[in-house]
Amino acid sequence: MPSTITYHDILAAAGLRVNALVGTDPSELEVTYSKRPLVAADFESSIIPFDAFKFTILNTEQRLSTAIADTGNHPWRANLISLTKPLFCGEDMPADDLNGKPIIGIYGAVVDADNPTLICTEPDIQPVETIRRWMLNKNLWIMPLFAYSMDGNGIIHTRNQVQVQCCVYDYAAQSEAFDANEPILLPDVLAPAYIAGTVAGLVRDDEFMAQSQLYAQFYAATEQMIRSGLTSISQVALPGPSLQPAAA
């Protein structure tokens, strides 16, 4: 199911925490906080410009995406999943997927390009040597083999062509999605992590230092959980700006 929380929901939550939203009393603040889409005129911070919020939110999303993409078999890889172009034996691994989007994280399964339900496996013992023997003496094996190995920059395999499952993150596309106030790329349950990562990054000189550290701790814990393969994001109650002592 696609996410329902939008980029501007995150933007409003982050803006509130650094006192950036327009509004001098609760009702005015409520109007700004609930407005969608938000625009630069809805922000009045003298130290953090509107575009910095966008960049920091997308920066947080990139970090979360990288953590997910770095974790094999993580269920949230489904939000980032793609395939490489079909690769012949000996081809270099591409930097982009078959749609030209940048590949991030570790690879997933290697599948036969003609039949993606047939997954190739890597021989546990001497994978490169085993496949090299196959390459040089193909007539020895009349039954189809589904093996691959990655060594150096490339991939060798025993099929005509294979495709490698991978994760992608396209900053330009997400930037457009942000501008259009579309749903966040990752699952809704990561909204607290989006907010925490963003607030952790919204620090300038000595402004919001203590708050930033608190949110950074929560964000780091979330990222660590993701890298451990977990998907349960703890809903830690974090004190907002009003409960923080004034920055030193």
Q: Which residues bind other proteins (CB under 8 A)?
A: 121-127, 130, 133-134, 140-145, 147
Residue with tokens 């005015």: 28
Are the C-beta atoms of 103 and 84 separated by less than 8 Å? yes
Residue with Cβ nearer other proteins (55 or 146) = 146
Euclidean distance between CA atoms 101 and 98, whole angstroms: 7
With CA atoms as reference, report the closest residue to 12 among 57, 63, 47.
57
With CA atoms as reference, report the closest residue to 156 among 199, 118, 195, 127.
127
Residue with Cβ nearer other proteins (144 or 152) = 144
Are the C-beta atoms of 44 and 20 separated by less than 8 Å? yes
Residue with Cβ nearer other proteins (139 or 235) = 139
Question: From the CB of 126, what's the least distance to other proteins, in Å?
Answer: 8
Residue with Cβ nearer other proteins (91 or 122) = 122
With CA atoms as reference, report the closest residue to 181 among 1, 5, 4, 6.
6
Q: What is the DSSP letter of 247?
A: P
Question: From the CB of 150, what's the least distance to other proteins, in Å?
Answer: 14
Question: From the CB of 160, what's the least distance to other proteins, in Å?
Answer: 16
Residue with Cβ nearer other proteins (32 or 130) = 130
Question: From the CB of 124, what's the least distance to other proteins, in Å?
Answer: 3
Euclidean distance between CA atoms 64 and 197, whole angstroms: 9
Question: From the CB of 140, what's the least distance to other proteins, in Å?
Answer: 6
